[in-house]
Chains A and B, each alone.
Chain A
Amino acid sequence: MFETVLLSLSEGFVKSLEVFFLTLIGAIPLGLLISFGSMSKFKPLSFLVKVIVWIVRGSPLMLQLLIIYFGPGLIFGNNWWGSGSEGRFIAAMVAFIFNYACYFSEIFRGGIEGIPQGQYEAGEVLGMTKSQIFFKVILMQVVKRIVPPMGNEVITLIKDTSLVRVISVYELMWNGQSFIKSSGLIWPLFFTGVFYLAFNGIVTLLLGYAEKKLDYFKV
């Protein structure tokens, strides 16, 4: 039995990892884009972006999952996401990437706006171009500032991956819970906790390592 459980949980864990990594890969660049939008000097754009970010951050991710998955079918009579588990997975990823991009964008915005104006001006009077200033002067300071808050979000994301089960994406916790119905076993569900904790432990170590690596300078 233990092997059956372990196998099933491992399969679910792989799905959770997919959600985790695809969300990071999608949400970091999108979040940077959104942060630029919210800092835009073109007021209508920055206003619109800020409203969207407010809505996404102010409502439950679970609700967003449901709306994004069921919305197109119910509103337009047409399920964009395609049928079957693949369609559900795509919808889940869209919801996750967009949600996390909005959270990340606020962190990026705070990080970028926190850089003193003097850093830009020092680059300017040295004849640097705007992109040189951003990539050679500003970016690294932003990275250093945002590692701790990003770390918090990433830890939250690990746990949030379990939400995709509401649209029947079979991740770790779904598989763990399924043994209650099928075999009357509760311990597989508890056992999923070990996976989450272990993964969390590894990510926490990596984040600590990153912070240490950036310790060579102060901002």
Chain B
Amino acid sequence: MSILEVKNLRKSFGNTEVLKDINFTLEAGEVLSIIGSSGSGKTTLLRCLNFLETPDSGLILVQGKPLFNSEDTTAKSDAEIRRSRQHFGLVFQSFNLFPQYTALKNVTLASELQAKERPDYKTNKKYILEDIRKNGERLLTQVGLFDKRDNYPHQLSGGQQQRVAIARALSLSPDILCFDEPTSALDPELTGEVLKVIKGLADHNTTMVIVTHEMQFAREVSDKVLFMDSGYVVEYGTPEEVFDHPQHERTQQFLLRYSGNE
């Protein structure tokens, strides 16, 4: 069974239809890169997956279980939406770290808040928090920032902040980790360290959806590539299929523009 299935997803803002019938599937352990020109709806798609936007219609299935179904008109409670969200993690273009917390606390905060709902929290508090801290330190080690665990975000470079944000997004062990142009806000010399971390996650079979303008990176890291244009999935396939043998003119034009830049 596919880990993620998106069917007939549509989303409008007012009169502008931003997503027009989006369909794709993703297998566990695969990396999907989403490419496309500005305004084509890539961010909106990620935001729909993470329940930051509500699609107008369509279906989102995770491991065959519908998390969003426009046919199902029963209103979802806040708690249900929060539970659905747990399947996804999101790394933002602008990091969005919590400035008043250290790198480690940024990573552990959500886990700590969730632990409070455990029935055994009061009795095992010390061990639970100890576990959470260890997990946070493990994740910071994984992104190469263990020695920066006590730094506040403003004491970190952009690349380091984004790596903390990745560790934070991993802290609740999401099934699918989403990235929205994770390196676009970074100085060129800092993109490498972030891409390397993402590459490392791919090597460990983390299921990921990555919106990116880094074509070379997308080609290296992806199992599937999806080209979006004005709200449609125009091209979907392996990196070889999409980059080397694009079937559609719009894809060819887009890639030509990008290879010109590189």
Instruction: Give chain B residues whose Cβ lies under 8 Å from the Cβ of A43.
Output: none
Q: Which residues of B contact A (CB under 8 A)?
A: 50-52, 78, 82-83, 85-86, 88-90, 92, 94, 96-101, 109-110, 113-114, 152-154, 168-169, 171-172
Interface residues of A, dominant DSSP: helix
Contact of A118 among B50, B83, B88, B96 (CB under 8 A): B96
Instruction: Give chain B residues whose Cβ lies under 8 Å from the Cβ of A218.
Output: 99, 152-154
Q: Assess the B113–A136 pair: CB atoms within 8 A.
A: yes
Q: Assess the B96–A124 pair: CB atoms within 8 A.
A: no
Q: Assess the A122–B92 pair: CB atoms within 8 A.
A: yes
Instruction: Give chain B residues whose Cβ lies under 8 Å from the Cβ of A141.
Output: 99-100
Instruction: Give chain A residues whose Cβ lies under 8 Å from the Cβ of B152.
Output: 216-218
The answer for the CA separation of A132 and B82 in the assembled complex, in Å, is 12
Q: Report if A124-B85 is in contact (Cβ < 8 Å); known contacts: A136-B113, A141-B100.
A: yes
Q: Please name the residue on chain A nearest to B112 by beta carbon.
A: A136
The answer for the CA separation of A125 and B153 in the assembled complex, in Å, is 19
The answer for the CA separation of A218 and B156 in the assembled complex, in Å, is 12
Instruction: Give chain A residues whose Cβ lies under 8 Å from the Cβ of B82.
Output: 127-129
Q: Does A119 contact B (CB under 8 A)?
A: yes
Instruction: Give chain A residues whose Cβ lies under 8 Å from the Cβ of B78.
Output: 129-130
Instruction: Give chain A residues whose Cβ lies under 8 Å from the Cβ of B88.
Output: 125
Q: Which residues of A contact B (CB under 8 A)?
A: 116, 118-119, 121-130, 132, 136-137, 140-141, 144, 216-219
The answer for the CA separation of A128 and B92 in the assembled complex, in Å, is 17
The answer for the CA separation of A152 and B86 in the assembled complex, in Å, is 44
Q: Assess the A127–B154 pair: CB atoms within 8 A.
A: no
Q: Smallest CB–CB gap between A119 and chain B, Å?
A: 6
Instruction: Give chain B residues whose Cβ lies under 8 Å from the Cβ of A122.
Output: 92, 96-98
The answer for the CA separation of A126 and B91 in the assembled complex, in Å, is 11
Most buried by A among B86, B113, B171: B113
Q: Please name the residue on chain B nearest to A143 by beta carbon.
A: B100
Q: Assess the A127–B110 pair: CB atoms within 8 A.
A: yes
Q: Smallest CB–CB gap between B103 and chain A, Å?
A: 12
Instruction: Give chain A residues whose Cβ lies under 8 Å from the Cβ of B100.
Output: 140-141, 144, 216-217, 219
Q: Assess the A137–B114 pair: CB atoms within 8 A.
A: no
Q: Assess the B113–A118 pair: CB atoms within 8 A.
A: no
4 further A-B contacts with Cβ under 8 Å, apart from A126-B110, A127-B172, A140-B100, are: A121-B52, A126-B168, A217-B152, A218-B99
